[in-house]
Amino acid sequence: MVRIFIDSDACPVKDEVYRVAGRYGLHVFVVSNRMIAVPESPLIERVVVDSGPDVADDWIAERTLDRDIVITADIPLAARCIEKGSYVLEPKGRRLDRDAIGMALAMRNLMTDLRSIGVMTSTGTAFGKADRSRFLSELDTLVVRAHKS
């Protein structure tokens, strides 16, 4: 059974995930360090973990399985989930897989190093309608692919 895990702190596409999951009858885990509102549905489970660095990430990484779908912008979490055979999708619609995760980790580490020495770095573009559309399309594709695997 394919499941969806949302690394939900600051995730702008939760409503889109709920709609797609409802259409396919998939269980969704909404994981965060604080209480957040989720729709009343037997398919949606809110998980509130303790505060602390990587506690929500650890919860997701420990439970995700082959063919599950993880929604996150956290690159180290994505790497852990990909290693377990999960599909990973960023909120802007970029799918991370075994081919893409190495470059994503390298870029993240480079930007972290640059910020640590005081270099101003860009945080990227704002989230927009095109991102939401790309996310929905890619999520639908991943759900179909996960069911066929």
DSSP code for 91: T
Per residue in 86-105, pLDDT tens? 999 999 998 988 777 666 56
Tokens representing 31 are 């994981």
C-alpha atoms less than 13 angstroms from C-alpha of 63 in its C-beta half-sphere? 19
Count of structural domains, the chain:
1
Q: What is the dihedral of CA 83, 89, 90, 93, to 10 degrees?
A: 150
Model confidence at 107, pLDDT cuts 50, 70, 90, reads low
State the residue range of the domain holding 76. Answer: 3-148
Read off the pLDDT of each residue in 95-121 and give the average, rounded to a whole number: 68
CATH code at position 74? 3.40.50
Global confidence as pTM: 0.86
Read off the pLDDT of each residue in 62-75 and give the average, rounded to a whole number: 94
